[in-house]
């Protein structure tokens, strides 16, 4: 039957062959085996149940959690003239009745339903009258109470199976599931000796980036300006933040939509359609947006707030780069994110057991935000992936310019303090004791008499908290479960205390900066005070002191240079920017400051539109990629993309240095075998050591259209 499946694949979907492990999953289902398939976003899960549905006699039932997911898939099937429909709350009753009647007459091969419909007695009676040889459960992690998106209505699936006159084959699909969740899926669905297929969790084309301690608003304004024509999703924690940030971006001139559960269904659908049809580039949303959104060209996903668990983060981040092309997933972390998520968990979790489980998962993503290890490796280890590398080279921890310093002595002081506090207190109090805080709780418990009290007073409380979180994230400390985690020692703690293991931390490199002139700072502060009085606002809401100091160091005299100052966004520039430029201009003229000083003091500007041509000139002069990257202060990946762009534009270019000589022919065979130029399918049939760069280089060299 797999041969017939390939014919259908070619006829309706236009592919020559299945990707791994699609063929194995389909073969398992066609052999009447219950099946669990863990496949990352963009791996083609839907084909794994749509193809068998066309081969089985009768109607296949697909359990799907979101209306948008059903509509997208049914629209796609109907576009291919395949008989499919869906039933959900968006359809008026007369139309529901009509579709049910057509299902009874055998007019459909696939029927998509929301899990809540399984709780309807009338629908159960309908199922008993239909031949249902196959039941597919999409987003199957929703059935597990230990998963990140538990939906109680999914538990009705097991009841339905027991009520049918003939039990169908059952297949469960999800992109993210830990070993614990995989077991729970099998139990909750009463699967019979299921075949398990895990295609791996790694998405090599995604760059994972973590940023801490930054002005988040300024970051997204700058990032989106640089990537103005790319499609992207910005996830935030609350509806209020959706409204604020979408307004900020709209005022800055970006085409942006908003999406959260507080909007009407009509408004949400409008945003989704506008995004899918490229009428807008950006969507600011809560986690209500995205499941099942099959938009292939999302180039970046930014998490403005830390999500509540690793599963949610990786699933949401995975909506970038579904086309296999390079995409970026950025998580902006601030300590307050943890408190927001704790509050949401305590408000929404139904039981104390569920709260405890979700708080445990929250701590795991907090650890992710503090680890000094490879970010990709951390996630793959979490999902028990079989292929975990120590350094991926494509995450911010593996390829940044931060300095690695040894902090073993500092770690020993922290661990010693935890020991003297009898492992009974949380991160905040440990930091307060180390800093020598006069906090009431510290004094009431006589912790000021401990030998570790104040031994790290040269650090701020925030710096100490970050260091403690780093130790926990890298396995040198444990944090207990529950609402108020307690810091505890483990075996690695004692190895550090005994000098048997060293501890390292990455810190930002210190760059030489011209000190700002206090006289200019005072002038800028006077102007800020005048504006604050005029606007009836506190001065800090105009600009923070550090923003004024940065203006004093870099002397911005244009709109573009002012927008590169931390804390100055499009909106604030429009309101106040020109007034500050005028003060700086007058100061520069009065003090005869040279043009050279102004230019040298300012940070590196963004590359111009023809930046790839400069890379081309340097490459043709004989410089290596590494030398060009260093000279231009750009990443090697960017330099590679410049060269590919030059090649596509017809410039004379030799790309052999990017192609391992022993794999060139193998890459060409893979391209011809598949009959397409999509990177991911080509990568999947090549040896693991062949990277995307080599494939792109071969495609460019032999003038394949991409």
On the question of pLDDT at 489 being above 90, the answer is: yes
Structure tokens that stand for 173 in this block: 């699909």
Yes or no: say if 154 and 188 are a contact pair by the CB < 8 Å rule.
yes
Full-model pTM: 0.55
* Residue ranges of domains in the chain: 2-198, 206-382, 403-506, 518-600, 611-701
Tens digits of per-residue pLDDT, 543-595? 877 688 788 888 888 888 888 786 777 778 888 899 999 898 888 887 777 54
- CATH superfamily, with its number, for domain 2-198: P-loop containing nucleotide triphosphate hydrolases (3.40.50.300)
3-state secondary structure (DSSP) of residue 298? strand
State the Cα–Cα distance between residues 149 and 126, nearest whole angstrom: 28
pLDDT at residue 706, rounded to an integer: 52
> Can you give 118-169 as a three-state secondary structure string?
HHCHHHHHHHHCCCCCEEEECCHHHHCCCCCCCCHHHHHHHHHHHHCCCCCE
Between 440 and 660, residue with greater pLDDT? 440
DSSP per-residue letters across 463-475: HHHHHHHHHHHTT
CATH architecture of 518-600: Orthogonal Bundle (1.10)
State the Cα–Cα distance between residues 7 and 111, nearest whole angstrom: 23
Tens digits of per-residue pLDDT, 365-419? 999 998 888 999 999 998 888 778 788 888 988 876 566 788 999 999 999 999 9
**CA 379 to mean position of chain CA atoms:** 11
Tens digits of per-residue pLDDT, 341-369? 888 888 776 677 778 888 888 889 999 99
CATH number of 403-506: 1.10.10.10
Q: Average pLDDT of 613-620?
A: 79
CB atoms < 10 A from the CB of 228, how many? Answer: 12
Which pLDDT band, with edges at 50, 70 and 90, does 608 fall under? Answer: very low
pLDDT at residue 417, rounded to an integer: 95
Q: Which long-range contacts (CB under 8 A, 24 or more apart) does 69-76 make?
A: 69/138, 69/139, 69/291, 69/292, 70/112, 70/114, 70/292, 72/292, 72/293, 72/294, 73/46, 73/112, 73/292, 73/294, 74/110, 74/112, 76/294
The tokens 């006699």 sit on which residue? 57
Structure tokens that stand for 47 in this block: 């084909």
pLDDT above 70 covers a percentage of the chain that reads: 90
pLDDT at residue 423, rounded to an integer: 93
> Which neighbouring-strand residues pair with 197?
37
Peptide bond between residue 260 and the one before it cis (omega within 30 degrees of 0): no
Going by DSSP bridges, is the β-strand pair 298-303/327-333 parallel, antiparallel, or unpaired?
parallel
Examine domains 403-506 and 518-600 and report if their fold is the same. Answer: no
State the Cα–Cα distance between residues 50 and 237, nearest whole angstrom: 34
Going by C-alpha positions, the residue among 199, 207, 327, 294 that lies closest to residue 684 is 199
> Which neighbouring-strand residues pair with 232?
282, 300
State the Cα–Cα distance between residues 489 and 618, nearest whole angstrom: 53
pLDDT at residue 346, rounded to an integer: 80
pLDDT at residue 400, rounded to an integer: 66
Q: Cα separations (Å) of 501 from 130, 420, 455, 488?
A: 65, 21, 21, 18
pLDDT at residue 123, rounded to an integer: 80
Q: What's the topology of domain 206-382?
A: Rossmann fold (3.40.50)
The tokens 């050279």 sit on which residue? 596
Structure tokens that stand for 141 in this block: 């992690």
CATH number of 611-701: 1.10.10
On the question of pLDDT at 100 being above 80, the answer is: yes
Going by C-alpha positions, the residue among 135, 193, 203, 142 that lies closest to residue 164 is 135
> Which neighbouring-strand residues pair with 257?
283
Q: Average pLDDT of 632-654?
A: 76
State the Cα–Cα distance between residues 337 and 330, nearest whole angstrom: 15
Between 674 and 249, residue with greater pLDDT? 249
pLDDT at residue 421, rounded to an integer: 95
3-state secondary structure (DSSP) of residue 620? helix
């Amino acid at each position: 039957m797999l041969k017939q499946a390939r014919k259908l694949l070619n006829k309706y979907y236009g592919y020559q062959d299945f990707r791994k492990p699609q063929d194995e999953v389909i073969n398992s289902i066609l052999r009447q085996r219950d099946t669990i398939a863990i496949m990352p976003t963009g791996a083609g899960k839907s084909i794994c149940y749509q193809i068998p549905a066309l081969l089985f006699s009768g109607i296949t039932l697909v359990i799907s959690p979101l209306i948008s997911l059903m509509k997208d898939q049914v629209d796609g099937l109907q576009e291919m003239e395949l008989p499919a429909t869906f039933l959900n709350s968006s359809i008026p009753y007369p139309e529901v009745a009509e579709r049910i009647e057509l299902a009874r007459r055998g007019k459909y091969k696939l029927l998509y339903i929301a899990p809540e419909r399984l709780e309807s007695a009338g629908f159960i009676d309908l199922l008993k009258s239909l031949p249902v040889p196959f039941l597919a459960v999409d987003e199957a992690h929703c059935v597990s109470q230990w998963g990140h998106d538990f939906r109680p209505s999914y538990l009705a699936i097991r009841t339905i199976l027991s009520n049918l006159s003939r039990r169908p084959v059952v297949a469960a699909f999800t992109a993210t599931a830990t070993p614990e969740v995989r077991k729970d899926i099998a139990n909750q669905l009463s699967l019979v000796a299921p075949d398990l297929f895990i295609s791996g969790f790694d998405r090599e084309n995604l760059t994972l980036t973590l940023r801490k301690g930054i002005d988040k608003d300024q970051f997204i304004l700058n990032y989106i300006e640089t990537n103005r024509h790319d499609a992207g999703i910005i996830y935030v924690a609350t509806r209020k933040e959706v409204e604020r940030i979408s307004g900020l971006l709209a005022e800055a001139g970006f085409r942006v939509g908003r999406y959260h559960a507080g909007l009407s269904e009509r408004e949400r659908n409008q945003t989704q359609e506008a995004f899918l049809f490229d009428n807008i580039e950006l969507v600011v949303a809560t986690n209500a947006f995205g499941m099942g959104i099959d938009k292939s060209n999302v180039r970046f996903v930014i998490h403005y707030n830390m999500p509540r668990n690793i599963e949610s983060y990786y699933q949401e981040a995975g909506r970038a780069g579904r086309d296999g092309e390079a995409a970026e997933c950025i998580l902006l972390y601030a300590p307050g994110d943890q408190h927001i998520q704790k509050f949401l968990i305590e408000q929404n979790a139904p039981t104390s057991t569920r709260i405890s489980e979700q708080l445990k998962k929250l701590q795991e993503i907090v650890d992710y935000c503090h680890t000094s290890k490879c970010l990709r490796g951390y996630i793959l280890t979490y999902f028990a992936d079989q292929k975990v590398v120590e350094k991926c080279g494509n995450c911010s921890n593996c390829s940044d310019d931060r300095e690695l310093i040894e902090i073993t002595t500092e770690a020993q002081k922290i661990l010693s303090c935890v020991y003297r506090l009898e492992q009974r207190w949380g991160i905040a109090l440990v930091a307060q004791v180390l800093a020598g805080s006069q906090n009431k709780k510290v004094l009431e418990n006589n912790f000021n008499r401990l030998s570790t009290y104040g031994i790290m007073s040269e650090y701020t409380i925030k710096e100490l908290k970050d260091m403690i979180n780093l130790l926990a994230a890298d396995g040198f400390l444990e944090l207990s479960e529950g609402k108020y985690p307690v810091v505890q020692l483990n075996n690695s703690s004692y190895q550090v205390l005994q000098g048997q293991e060293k501890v390292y931390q990455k810190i930002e490199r210190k760059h030489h900066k011209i000190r700002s002139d206090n006289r200019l700072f005072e002038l800028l502060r006077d102007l800020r005070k005048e504006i604050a009085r005029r606007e009836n606002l506190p001065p800090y809401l105009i600009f923070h002191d550090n923003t004024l100091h940065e203006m004093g160091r870099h002397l911005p005299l244009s709109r573009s240079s002012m927008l590169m100052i931390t804390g100055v966004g499009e909106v604030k520039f429009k309101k106040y920017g020109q007034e500050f430029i005028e003060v700086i201009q007058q100061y520069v003229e009065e003090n005869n400051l040279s043009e050279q000083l102004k230019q040298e003091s300012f940070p590196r500007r963004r590359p111009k539109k023809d930046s790839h041509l400069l890379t081309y000139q340097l490459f043709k002069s004989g410089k290596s990629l590494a030398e060009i990257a260093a000279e231009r202060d750009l990443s090697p990946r960017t330099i590679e993309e410049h060269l590919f762009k030059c090649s596509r534009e017809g410039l004379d270019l030799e790309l052999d240095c990017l192609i391992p000589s022993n794999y060139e022919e193998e890459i060409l065979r893979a391209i011809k075998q598949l009959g397409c130029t999509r990177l991911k399918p080509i990568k999947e049939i090549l040896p693991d050591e062949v990277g995307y760069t080599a494939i792109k280089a071969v495609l460019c060299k032999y003038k394949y259209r991409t």
